[in-house]
């Protein structure tokens, strides 16, 4: 990692465009492993809510993402991209679980039907 006051000088030296992610964890060792969740939903009616991602490796180690603070809008056959972060890195993913929540206690429960899903590591894009 880089100290926050020195990141700009380190990135300017690259001639090509550079992406930088500054999300950190509130826990030691303070690093976050960022993933891009790209999903297409199948529900006929529009849904608005939050998605939490849980990934498991072949040894059974599991890590769960933090829930985004802003709700996403899901419409039929529309792709939605969500940036999600984990406190630990899982190298060989065996299972991905999604939990959909509207964060409301009153009202009907809704399901979010997923037509297509892709989870891509931003820290290790070749995975």
pLDDT digit string (tens) for 69-116?
Answer: 788 999 999 999 998 888 888 889 999 999 898 877 776 678 889 999
pTM exceeds cut of 0.85:
no
The CATH number of whichever domain residue 40 belongs to comes to 2.60.60.20
Residue 18 lies in a domain: no
Q: Is the dihedral of CA 68, 73, 74, 77 positive or negative?
A: negative
Residue 76 lies in a domain: yes
Residue 126 lies in a domain: no
The closest alpha carbon to 116, from 63, 78, 60, belongs to 78
Residue 73 lies in a domain: yes
Residue 51 lies in a domain: yes
Please state, in angstroms and rounded to a whole number, the distance separating the CA atoms of residues 27 and 29: 6
pLDDT digit string (tens) for 9-57?
Answer: 666 666 555 555 555 666 666 678 889 999 999 989 998 989 999 999 9
């Amino acid at each position: 990692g880089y100290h926050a006051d020195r990141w700009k000088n380190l990135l300017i030296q690259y001639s090509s465009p550079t992406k930088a992610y500054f999300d950190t964890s509130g826990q030691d060792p303070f690093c976050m492993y960022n993933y891009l969740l790209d999903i297409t939903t199948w529900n006929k009616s529009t849904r608005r809510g939050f998605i939490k991602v849980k990934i498991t490796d072949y040894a059974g180690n599991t890590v769960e993402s933090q829930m985004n603070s802003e709700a996403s809008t899901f419409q039929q056959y529309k792709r939605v991209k969500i940036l999600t972060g984990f406190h630990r890195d899982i190298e060989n993913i065996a299972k991905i679980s999604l939990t959909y929540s509207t964060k409301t206690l009153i009202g009907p429960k809704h399901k979010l039907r997923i037509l297509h899903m892709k989870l891509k590591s931003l820290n290790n894009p070749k995975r």
